[in-house]
Amino acid sequence: MKKRTVIVLLDLLLPLAACNPNPRPTPEPVPRPRPAALAREPTASQPFDFYLLNLSWSPEFCHSHPNAIECSQHSAFVLHGLWPQNNDGTYPQDCSAEPGPRNPAALSDIYPDTGLLNHEWRTHGTCSALSPDAFFTLARNALHSVAIPSTLSHLDHPISMPPGQILDLFTAANPSIPRSSFALSCGNNYLTAIEVCLNKSTQPTPCGPIRSCRANTVRITPQ
């Protein structure tokens, strides 16, 4: 009798589960998947070709991490990281054990979460051939060099648009940055980040192997 009851319950629950095959994604701090096969093993010297500036769409991350430190600020795009990249699609990471910044509080304007600050230094900053202070100064300057389109800077309701239209907004707001230097990251058709390809002097450069979101339409969570 009990066995029959279990079978009946399963028959009732399975159709309900099938009604939602694409649940709301749970964004992680790293919005773009980075296959381990593309990461180069650390060596004494880690040359790289350009930087990828990743500006995370904070409302999407905060949707599933409401208690995160940065979420109390109700920001739009926030600095995730400045990542050394190579033109062949590989990237260096974890290049040394050099300690991070001595005064993390001085970087609270760009990294209120010291855990993320330390992660970004350890994983990416150590491959820049810069000191911690120089690396994060470069990251701060890169962040402030990108203007956020007004359509997205104070968003108070959900909207949807094609990835190309979002990139058009950024190109219009940043006439000195060519369209080829922008890329868009998404997860399950939700906006997760805008990315900008920069040379070692943080001037725009073509993104090359960095691919944009291929969704027909991207949903954008309000702040």
Residue 38, pLDDT score: 56
Answer yes or no: is pLDDT of 101 > 60: yes
Q: Which amino acid is at 52?
A: L
Active-site annotation holder among 124, 144, 154, 157: 124
Given the residues 60, 70, 80, 195, select the one marked as catalytic: 80
The pTM is what?
A: 0.80
- Cα 188 to Cα 116: distance, rounded to the nearest angstrom: 24
Domain boundaries along the sequence of the chain: 49-220
Question: What is the tens place of the pLDDT at every residue in 30-61?
Answer: 334 444 445 544 444 568 999 999 999 988 88
pLDDT over 90 (residue 113): yes
Neighbours of 164 (CB within 10 A): 13
Query: Known catalytic residue: 80?
Result: yes
Q: What is the model's pLDDT at position 19?
A: 35
Query: CA-CA distance, 217 to 223, in Å (whole number)?
Result: 19
Superfamily of domain 49-220: Ribonuclease T2-like (3.90.730.10)
- Spot the catalytic one: 28, 70, 119, 120: 120
**Pairwise CA distance, residues 6 & 196, whole Å:** 53
Q: How many CB atoms lie within 10 A of CB 78?
A: 22
Average pLDDT of the residues in 62-75: 79
Looking at residue 74, its pLDDT comes to 73
